Chain A
Amino acid sequence: MNPFFAVVGLILLTSALMVLPLVPALVELHSKSDALPLSVIQQHTGEIRFFADGFRSYMTGLQPALQECVKSGTHTTGTMSDGSEYLVLGRGEEALFLPFRERNEFNPVIIASGSDLLLPSETNFSKDIYSAGSVIGGTNNRYRAILAEKDIRLGRESSVMRWVHAVGEFSADPGCQLYGRVSSDTGIRLSEECSFLRLNAPYIAIGPDADPAQNYAEIPGVETTTKRLLHDGDFEIRADEVFLGNLVVRGRLRIGSGARVCGSVKSDKELVLEPGASVEGSLISASIMQIGPHCRIGGPVIAERTVLLQQGTRCGTMQNPTTVSAPNIQVEPGVVVFGTLWARDQGQAVAKL
Chain B
Amino acid sequence: MIYALYVIVSVICIYTARHYWFTLNRLFGFQRHPYIDIDTADWPPVTVLVAAHNEEKVVANILSALMTVKYPADNMLVIPVNDRSTDRTREIIDEFVERFPGRIRPFHRKDGKGGKAAALKDAMELVDTEVILIFDADYIPGAGLVKQLTAPFFDPEVGGVMGRVVPMNCGTNLLTRLLDLERSGGYQVDQQARMNLRLVPQHGGTVAGVRLSALREIGGWNDTSLTEDTDLTYRLLLHGWKTVYQNRSECYEEVPETWPVRIKQIKRWAKGHNQAMVTYGLHLLLGKHRASLRERIDGTLLLGVYIMAPFTLVGWVLALGVFYQGVAPLHGIVAILSVTAYAAIGNLAAFFEIAAAVRLDGSRKRVCLVPFLILGFAVSIFAVSWAAVSQVKDALTGAEFHWDKTERFRKAAS
Contacts of B34 in A (CB 8 A): 284, 286, 302, 304
* Inter-subunit contact A43/B143 (CB<8 Å): yes
Instruction: Report how far A266 CA is from B32 CA in the complex, Å.
Output: 16
Instruction: Report how far A308 CA is from B130 CA in the complex, Å.
Output: 30
* Inter-subunit contact B154/A35 (CB<8 Å): no
Tell whether A46 pairs with B144 under 8 Å between CB atoms, given A28-B369, A264-B155, A282-B154: yes
Known: A24-B368, A36-B171, A302-B34. 9 other contacts (CB 8 A): A28-B366, A37-B169, A37-B252, A38-B250, A38-B361, A45-B39, A45-B147, A304-B34, A322-B41
User: Which size class do A's interface residues fall under?
Assistant: 35 or more
Contacts of A230 in B (CB 8 A): 157, 240, 290
Instruction: Give me 24 A-to-B residue pairs in the complex whose CB atoms sit less than 8 angstroms apart, sorted by A's number.
Output: A22-B372, A24-B368, A25-B368, A25-B371, A29-B372, A32-B171, A34-B364, A37-B166, A37-B252, A38-B170, A42-B143, A45-B39, A48-B39, A200-B40, A226-B212, A264-B154, A266-B155, A284-B34, A299-B42, A302-B38, A302-B155, A323-B41, A340-B39, A342-B39
Instruction: Report how far A33 CA is from B345 CA in the complex, Å.
Output: 30
CB-contacts of A5-55 with B (<8 A): 21-22, 24-25, 27-29, 32-38, 40-46, 48
Q: Measured between C-beta atoms, what is the minimum distance from B133 to chain A in Å?
A: 16
Instruction: Report how far A184 CA is from B315 CA in the complex, Å.
Output: 64
CB-contacts of B161-189 with A (<8 A): 166-171, 174, 177, 180, 184
CB-contacts of A279-334 with B (<8 A): 281-282, 284, 286, 298-300, 302, 304, 316, 320-323, 325
Q: Any chain A CB within 8 A of the CB of B393? A: no
Q: Any chain B CB within 8 A of the CB of A247? A: yes
Contact of B369 among A25, A38, A339 (CB under 8 A): A25
Contacts of A24 in B (CB 8 A): 368
By beta carbon, the residue of chain B nearest A202 is: B40
Q: Measured between C-beta atoms, what is the minimum distance from B360 to chain A in Å?
A: 11
**Residues of B with Cβ closer than 8 Å to A?**
32, 34-35, 37-42, 70, 130, 140, 142-144, 147, 151, 154-157, 166-171, 174, 177, 180, 184, 212-213, 240, 250-252, 290, 361, 363-366, 368-372
Contacts of B184 in A (CB 8 A): 38
* Inter-subunit contact B70/A342 (CB<8 Å): no
Contacts of A246 in B (CB 8 A): 156
Contact of B171 among A35, A46, A248 (CB under 8 A): A35
Q: Any chain B CB within 8 A of the CB of A238? A: no
Tell whether A281 pairs with B156 under 8 Å between CB atoms, given A226-B130, A228-B213, A300-B41: yes
Contacts of A298 in B (CB 8 A): 42
Tell whether A27 pairs with B41 under 8 Å between CB atoms, given A37-B168, A45-B147: no
Instruction: Report how far A37 CA is from B169 CA in the complex, Å.
Output: 7
Contact of A325 among B37, B171, B250 (CB under 8 A): B37
Contacts of B213 in A (CB 8 A): 226, 228
* Inter-subunit contact A325/B156 (CB<8 Å): no
Q: Any chain B CB within 8 A of the CB of A232? A: yes
* Inter-subunit contact B365/A28 (CB<8 Å): yes
Nearest first, the 4 closest Cβ-Cβ pairs linking A and B are A45-B144, A35-B171, A34-B365, A246-B156
* Inter-subunit contact B144/A38 (CB<8 Å): no
Contacts of A25 in B (CB 8 A): 368-372
By beta carbon, the residue of chain B nearest A45 is: B144
By beta carbon, the residue of chain B nearest A232 is: B290
Instruction: Report how far A339 CA is from B43 CA in the complex, Å.
Output: 13
Q: Measured between C-beta atoms, what is the minimum distance from A205 to chain B in Å?
A: 16
Instruction: Report how far A40 CA is from B163 CA in the complex, Å.
Output: 12
* Inter-subunit contact B177/A321 (CB<8 Å): no
Contacts of B142 in A (CB 8 A): 40-43, 45
Q: Any chain B CB within 8 A of the CB of A265? A: yes
By beta carbon, the residue of chain A nearest B211 is: A226
Contacts of A175 in B (CB 8 A): none
* Inter-subunit contact A340/B40 (CB<8 Å): yes
Contacts of A299 in B (CB 8 A): 41-42, 154
Q: Measured between C-beta atoms, what is the minimum distance from B28 to chain A in Å?
A: 17
Q: Measured between C-beta atoms, what is the minimum distance from B173 to chain A in Å?
A: 9
Contacts of B37 in A (CB 8 A): 302, 323, 325, 340, 342, 344
